[in-house]
């Protein structure tokens, strides 16, 4: 119905309009509404759409056994990239931004939270939300569950199921504010008011989702030793890159993710220093290499049409390399930091294209424009965007060598035919942080399969690795177990896949099992049939594709 303008004459119930639903893309349908007369440019129309949302892919209904507490059901929405059209009628494209408000009534014993700048609880367990800053449709998010919160900073609290809240508070108390302050110093004011974190049930398919004011994260981040906080730095960085300045099309997803990876590593450098950040970036580069080896080198920064095919390492890590290349052209970190602030300030609350970004870069640095840096042979901006394959420029990660070299040397020792146990025992890994261990395991994986018996010895020697609770270590250990056919530890692969459903951990393990022996293929089928109901529908479909199961979409 078309409602009368506020305060104007007309029927308060509005005028009924003819509507038609037409097919649209691979998700959803388009609602065509016929207006009584053509609107003027800039005219404000108020439409009332009565709709019901059910089982669409953007709305996830979890049974109690899919939650951490196992007592009550849970529901959450996941809009990125084009799933919110199954949650409410909207212009479901990142090129359109708007404010929103919502009133949500939930049953007793449940709490609702949304990605909103303000929320209030009213009587009858009704919650009222408002988002006062314009955002694209994919950033609207709702959770309803048995959840509670605890303050961890002046503008931050953690939300989680009651059984996880203590662990969440302990892991994040005081750290979020530190990251926000560094982010503001580097990129300008944090405009979203609060920065809260919601720990999702284990079936949540992503590491994090940067819903404004309320980042959703995997419970895998509760490692107990703050070793995985870089994921939070990544989501915080989206407060500027992605949420404030947004890619206008999903084909240019690297504008969100490449800049965010760069921003994450800038914050990490300020907080943890350059060697550690270079080490983390080296593991990112290894993921890009693995991804390109697994899929052929066929990815450009500019991506194809179906937005859900864009979730791979390319926009993140190749995008990071491109932004690093721009910084390298400038040749001065503080000048490039100043550019990033000016960039955010110029395009805040807008959706932009790569042309806007690169045009502004050349305008901001006229001396570079005069030199024609956009068309240096082999490094042309156009080549970065449109030619698939390995990045033409790789940032220098050599400051990480002091942490990488010992890990490389230790991996060499373990890959040898006759193990030199004296040399191995001389290396003390008790002080190694997560990414140093991850880097070591990546090296071992590259050298796998190792000579007979070596992995078994390695497992025994380092229970800190083979019995780790840290998800990043568990993923690598499971990959090593599979690559070396260490059947005695196949149960660890099964346990890990039963414990969580994060896409980044789940898909590589199914790929490894399916590419392995008869035994690992059987393990894949058995594990999938047991865990499929607890996986997100997109992840189920990806796994079906890997396992060649019929009916995969």
HEC string of 211-265 equals CCCEEEECHHHCCCCCCCCHHHHHHHHCCCECCCEEECCHHHCHHHHHHHHHHHH
Distance (Å, whole) CA 319 – CA 247: 13
With beta carbons less than 8 A apart as the criterion, state whether 471 and 220 touch: yes
- Name the residue ranges covered by the structural domains of the chain: 57-235, 248-396, 399-547
Distance (Å, whole) CA 320 – CA 372: 22
With beta carbons less than 8 A apart as the criterion, state whether 523 and 493 touch: yes
- What are the angstrom distances between the C-alpha of 551 and each of 342, 410, 448, 494, 521? 49, 45, 34, 24, 19
- Token pair, residue 468, equals 């780790």
Whole-number pLDDT of residue 310: 47
Whole-number pLDDT of residue 65: 82
**Is 316 one of the catalytic residues?**
yes
With beta carbons less than 8 A apart as the criterion, state whether 116 and 76 touch: no
β-bridge mates for residue 145, sequence order: 111
Distance (Å, whole) CA 327 – CA 335: 9
Whole-number pLDDT of residue 25: 78
Name the one residue in this structure whose structure tokens are 């177990």: 481
Its sign, for the CA torsion 382, 383, 385, 391, is negative
142-163 burial code (b ≥16 CB/10 A, e <16): bbbbbbbbeebbebbbbbbbee
Which residue in 235, 280, 313, 317 is the catalytic one?
Answer: 235
Question: Same CATH topology for 57-235 and 399-547?
Answer: no
Nearest to 241 by CA among 175, 305, 303, 316: 316
Residue 453 gets the label, from left (phi > 0), alpha (psi -120 to 50) or beta, of left
Sequence-distant (≥ 6) Cβ neighbours of residue 37 within 8 angstroms: none
Known binding-site positions for Zn(2+): 234, 238, 257
Distance (Å, whole) CA 454 – CA 462: 12
Whole-number pLDDT of residue 200: 96
Name the one residue in this structure whose structure tokens are 């896409």: 503
Distance (Å, whole) CA 255 – CA 234: 14
With beta carbons less than 8 A apart as the criterion, state whether 234 and 217 touch: no
Name the one residue in this structure whose structure tokens are 């490094």: 379
Whole-number pLDDT of residue 325: 98
Q: Is 362 helix (H, G, I), strand (E, B) or coil?
A: helix
Residue 449 preceded by cis peptide, ω within 30: yes
Known binding-site positions: 78-80, 205-210, 234, 238, 257, 502-504
Largest Cα separation within the chain, whole Å, is 90
Q: Kindly list the averaged pLDDT for each block of 10 residues, start to end, along the chain of length 553.
A: 80 88 85 93 92 84 89 93 90 96 97 97 97 98 98 98 96 95 98 98 90 96 87 96 97 95 97 95 90 74 59 87 98 98 98 98 98 97 94 96 96 97 97 93 96 97 94 97 97 96 94 96 97 86 91 53
Nearest to 315 by CA among 380, 269, 258, 394: 258
Distance (Å, whole) CA 288 – CA 271: 25
Nearest to 444 by CA among 426, 424, 428: 424
Distance (Å, whole) CA 480 – CA 500: 19
With beta carbons less than 8 A apart as the criterion, state whether 266 and 258 touch: no
Which residue in 172, 316, 505, 542 is the catalytic one?
Answer: 316
Angle, helices 333-347 vs 354-364, to 10°: value is 130
Phi, psi (5° rounding) for residue 496? -65, -45
**Is 489 one of the catalytic residues?**
no
**Order of strands, edge to edge, in the sheet holding 118-122?**
97-105, 126-136, 118-122
**CATH code of the domain made up of 248-396:** 1.10.390.10
CATH class of 399-547: mainly alpha
With beta carbons less than 8 A apart as the criterion, state whether 384 and 417 touch: no
With beta carbons less than 8 A apart as the criterion, state whether 261 and 416 touch: no
- DSSP characters over 493-540: HHHHHHH---HHHHHHHHHHHHTS-HHHHHHHHHHHHHHGGGS-HHHH
Distance (Å, whole) CA 300 – CA 294: 15
Name the one residue in this structure whose structure tokens are 């989680």: 160
Known binding-site positions for a peptide: 78-80, 205-210, 502-504
First to last CA, the chain: 36
Distance (Å, whole) CA 282 – CA 401: 10
Half-sphere exposure of 155 (CA within 13 A, CB side): 16
**Order of strands, edge to edge, in the sheet holding 111-114?**
59-62, 74-77, 142-145, 111-114
Fold annotation for 57-235: Zincin-like (3.30.2010)
């Amino acid at each position: 119905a078309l409602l009368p303008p506020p305060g104007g004459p007309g029927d308060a119930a509005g005028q009924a309009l003819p509507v038609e639903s037409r097919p649209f893309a691979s998700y959803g349908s388009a609602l065509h509404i016929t207006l009584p007369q053509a609107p003027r440019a800039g005219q404000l129309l108020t439409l009332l759409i009565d709709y019901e949302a059910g089982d669409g892919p953007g709305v996830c209904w979890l049974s109690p056994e899919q939650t951490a507490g196992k007592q009550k059901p849970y529901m959450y929405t996941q809009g990125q990239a084009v799933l919110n059209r199954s949650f409410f009628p909207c212009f479901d494209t990142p090129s359109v931004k708007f404010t929103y408000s919502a009133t949500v009534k939930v049953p007793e014993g449940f709490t609702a939270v949304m990605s909103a700048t303000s929320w209030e609880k009213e009587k009858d367990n009704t919650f009222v939300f408002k988002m006062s800053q314009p955002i694209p449709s994919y950033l609207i998010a709702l959770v309803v569950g048995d959840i509670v919160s605890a303050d961890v900073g002046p503008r931050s609290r953690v939300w989680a199921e009651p059984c996880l809240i203590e662990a969440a508070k302990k892991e994040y108390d005081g750290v979020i504010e530190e990251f926000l302050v560094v982010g503001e110093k580097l990129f300008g004011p944090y405009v979203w008011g609060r920065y809260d974190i919601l720990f999702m049930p284990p079936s949540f398919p992503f590491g994090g989702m940067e819903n404004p004011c309320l980042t959703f994260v995997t419970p895998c981040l509760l490692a107990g030793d703050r070793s995985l906080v870089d994921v939070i730095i990544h989501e915080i960085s989206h407060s500027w890159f992605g949420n404030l300045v947004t890619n206008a099309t999903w084909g240019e997803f690297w504008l969100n993710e490449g800049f965010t990876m760069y921003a994450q590593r800038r914050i990490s450098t300020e907080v943890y220093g350059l060697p550690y950040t270079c080490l983390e970036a080296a593991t990112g580069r290894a993921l890009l290499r693995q991804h390109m080896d697994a899929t052929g080198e066929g990815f450009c920064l500019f991506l194809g049409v179906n937005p859900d095919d864009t979730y791979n390492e390319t926009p993140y890590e190749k995008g990071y390399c491109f932004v690093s290349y721009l910084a390298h052209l400038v040749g001065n970190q503080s000048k490039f930091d100043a550019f990033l602030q000016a960039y955010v300030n110029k395009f805040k609350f807008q959706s932009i294209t790569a042309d806007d970004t690169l045009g502004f870069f050349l305008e901001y640095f006229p001396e570079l424009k005069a030199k024609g840096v956009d068309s240096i042979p082999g490094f042309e901006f156009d080549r970065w965007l449109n030619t698939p394959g390995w990045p033409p420029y790789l940032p220098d990660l050599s400051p990480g060598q002091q942490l990488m070299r010992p890990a490389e040397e230790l991996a060499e020792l373990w890959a040898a035919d006759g193990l030199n146990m004296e040399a191995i025992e001389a290396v003390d890994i008790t002080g190694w942080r997560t990414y140093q261990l991850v880097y070591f395991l990546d090296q071992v994986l590259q050298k796998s399969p190792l000579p007979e018996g070596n992995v078994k010895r390695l497992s025994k020697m380092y229970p800190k690795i083979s019995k780790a609770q840290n998800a990043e270590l568990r993923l690598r250990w499971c990959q090593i177990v599979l690559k070396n056919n260490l059947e005695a530890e196949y149960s660890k692969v099964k346990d890990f896949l039963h414990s969580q459903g994060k896409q980044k951990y789940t898909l590589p393990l199914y790929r490894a099992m399916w590419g392995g022996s008869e035994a690992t293929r059987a393990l894949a089928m058995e594990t999938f049939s047991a865990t499929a109901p607890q996986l997100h529908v997109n992840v189920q479909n990806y796994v079906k594709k890997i396992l060649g199961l019929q009916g995969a979409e």
